């Protein structure tokens, strides 16, 4: 009887999440890539998968309580509300049709070649630094040793680590340029930049960063092609899952390279299922067993606290580690969904307010991108698809503020230099024509 009650509760909240998705889909004029639609779809899908996996691959998975389901439900509602408020404001301020902002979409080809050359030249230095970190781990397998040392050791890859975010920017810029003009040189630059960005992400040993490449492609493709088909999203998602499993086996997670394909199928499938749904249970375990709201902000605002600590502005402040401790639910996991750092800092209301703020920001960027096709807003919309689509896993908003600042810095520097070069080229053309 108790199991039946749990099933009915879970199905009820799955249905409520589905209703939120349908409502967002209708309100946002059936735009599947609208942030509010995507967020509600992701959380409906994850809750549904949690229910399915509990009956199949992960039969021992702990049930979720009503209080946990309510956090997820009101979180989706908050994100949707933020998106709705921004949409209403946008419609009032932009009642007339906005023309495509093509004047800011020209990209200097030589500049793109220079940027690509930087990450090509930097790659050997990056690999050498990664190998040095691997040696410190004293583990035979390169990627397992590198991952272990980067996550739990004292070694750091050094200043070359900024080449990772830089390579993602270069890939995004070349993808944008390719969609604007599908010629041979743009195709070559795009292919090389994709391979390089993928290589850098591979050496970071975090599979989630590789997902960022997929988000960039889907976002830019959607904006510049005026839509993206469900079939294409399905194929890309399927490809990523297969790739995710393969990389996991290479990293020694969910399989073994020495085993046959048949022997790896079951553990790889279970590990993928654990990645997808165990964060929900980890979040519940955290809120019921070790939640102590500190009202200091050293989880969600850890970047700013760390800066303050290093500058001795806020001495004696302990900033929590980004890599969280493992818990058994009863499957081993150390990720706690997007809500964890915010609730640990200032409680549930703060978490919902921040989620609503993210919904507002996402929707503003979405509206700017699809209406103007401007490169700046298109890039930022595409990048922010990453923390949105992976919100069920962990927080990639404020807890990785450093990465977002790198992305903003590199993007704005590029746009400024590109603007100067494009303007100079136009002025030269005008002079010649006269």
Q: What DSSP line would sit under 368-403, residue for residue?
A: HHHHH--HHHHHHHHHHHHHHHTTTTB--SGGGHHH
Average pLDDT for residues 70-79, to the nearest whole number?
98
Which pLDDT does position 234 carry in this prediction?
74
CA distance 376 to 114: 20
Pairing of β 327-328 and β 332-333: antiparallel
Going by C-alpha positions, the residue among 210, 208, 205, 207 that lies closest to residue 134 is 205
- Greatest mean pLDDT among 98-112, 320-334, 370-384: 370-384
Contact 167, 200 (CB under 8 A): yes
Average pLDDT for residues 180-200, to the nearest whole number?
94
Which pLDDT does position 1 carry in this prediction?
46
Which pLDDT does position 295 carry in this prediction?
77
Contact 170, 197 (CB under 8 A): yes
Average pLDDT for residues 353-358, to the nearest whole number?
98
Decide: residue 53, CB within 10 A, 0-12 exposed, 13-18 middle, 19+ buried: buried
Percent of all residues in the chain with a pLDDT value above 90, rounded to a whole number: 60
Residue 327 bridge partners (DSSP): 333
Average pLDDT for residues 12-26, to the nearest whole number?
97
**Preceding omega of 330 cis (within 30 degrees of 0):** yes
The residue ranking higher by pLDDT, 116 or 236, is 116
Average pLDDT for residues 273-289, to the nearest whole number?
93
| pLDDT tens, position by position, 207-235 | 788 889 999 999 999 999 877 766 777 77
C-alpha torsion angle, residues 10, 14, 17, 22 (rounded to 10): -160
Going by C-alpha positions, the residue among 261, 315, 287 that lies closest to residue 71 is 287
CA distance 296 to 349: 15
The residue ranking higher by pLDDT, 147 or 327, is 327
DSSP-assigned letters across all residues of 117-151: HHHHHHHHHHHHHHHHHHHHHT-SSHHHHHHHHHH
Which pLDDT does position 157 carry in this prediction?
82
DSSP-assigned letters across all residues of 48-60: HHHHHHHHTTTTT
Could you tell me the pLDDT band of residue 416, with boundaries at 50, 70 and 90?
A: very high
What is the value of pTM for the model shown? 0.91
Residue 361 has pLDDT above 90, yes or no: yes
Residue 256 has pLDDT above 70, yes or no: no
Residue 392 has pLDDT above 50, yes or no: yes
| pLDDT tens, position by position, 100-154 | 555 557 899 999 999 999 999 999 999 999 888 888 887 877 777 777 777 776 6
Could you tell me the pLDDT band of residue 431, with boundaries at 50, 70 and 90?
A: low
Tokens (6 digits) for 349:
């209301």
Q: Tell me how far CA of residue 130 lies from CA of 120, 328, 433, in angstroms.
A: 16, 31, 52
Contact 119, 170 (CB under 8 A): yes
| Helix (H), strand (E) at residue 327 | strand 327-328
CA distance 254 to 271: 5
Average pLDDT, the chain: 87
Residue 264 has pLDDT above 70, yes or no: no
Residue 314 has pLDDT above 70, yes or no: no
Average pLDDT for residues 34-60, to the nearest whole number?
95
Average pLDDT for residues 318-327, to the nearest whole number?
78
Which 8-state DSSP code applies to residue 64? P
Could you tell me the pLDDT band of residue 396, with boundaries at 50, 70 and 90?
A: very high
Residue 323 has pLDDT above 50, yes or no: yes
* First-to-final CA distance of the chain: 86
């Amino acid at each position: 009887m108790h199991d039946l009650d749990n099933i009915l509760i879970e199905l009820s909240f799955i249905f409520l999440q589905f209703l939120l998705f349908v409502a967002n889909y209708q309100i946002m004029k059936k735009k599947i890539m609208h942030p509010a639609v995507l967020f509600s779809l992701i959380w409906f899908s994850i809750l549904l998968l949690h229910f399915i996996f509990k009956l199949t691959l992960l039969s021992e998975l702990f049930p979720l309580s009503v209080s946990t389901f309510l956090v997820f439900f009101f979180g989706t509602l908050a994100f949707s509300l933020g998106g709705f408020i921004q949409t209403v404001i946008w419609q009032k301020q932009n009642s007339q049709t906005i023309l495509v902002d093509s004047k800011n979409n020209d990209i200097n080809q030589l500049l793109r070649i220079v940027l690509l050359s930087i990450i090509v030249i930097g790659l050997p230095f990056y690999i050498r630094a990664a190998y040095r970190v691997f040696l410190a781990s004293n583990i035979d397998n390169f990627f397992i040793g590198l991952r272990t040392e980067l996550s739990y050791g004292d070694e750091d890859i050094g200043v070359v680590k900024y080449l990772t975010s830089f390579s993602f920017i270069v890939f995004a810029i070349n993808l944008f340029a390719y969609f604007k003009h599908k010629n041979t040189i743009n195709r070559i630059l795009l292919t090389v930049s994709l391979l390089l960005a993928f290589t850098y992400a591979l050496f970071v040993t975090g599979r989630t960063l590789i997902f960022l490449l997929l988000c960039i492609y889907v976002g830019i493709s959607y904006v510049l092609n005026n839509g993206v088909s469900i079939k294409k999203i399905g194929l890309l998602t399927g490809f990523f899952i297969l790739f995710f499993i393969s990389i996991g086996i290479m990293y020694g997670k969910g399989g073994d390279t020495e085993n046959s394909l048949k022997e790896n199928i079951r553990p790889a499938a279970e590990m993928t299922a654990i990645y997808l749904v165990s964060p929900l249970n980890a979040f519940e375990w955290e809120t019921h067993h070790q939640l102590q709201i500190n009202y200091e902000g050293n989880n969600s605002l850890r970047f700013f606290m760390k800066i303050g600590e290093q500058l001795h502005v806020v001495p004696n402040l302990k900033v929590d580690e980004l890599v969280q401790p493992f818990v058994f639910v009863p499957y081993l996991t150390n990720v706690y969904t997007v809500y964890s750092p915010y609730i640990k800092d200032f409680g549930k209301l703060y978490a919902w307010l921040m989620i609503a703020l993210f919904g507002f920001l996402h929707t503003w960027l979405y509206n700017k991108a699809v209406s103007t096709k401007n490169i700046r807003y298109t890039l930022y919309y595409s990048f922010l698809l990453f923390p949105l689509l992976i919100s069920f896993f962990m927080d990639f908003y404020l807890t990785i503020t450093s990465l977002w600042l790198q992305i903003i810095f590199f993007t704005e520097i590029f746009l400024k230099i590109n603007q100067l070069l494009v303007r100079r080229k136009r002025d030269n053309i005008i002079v010649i024509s006269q």
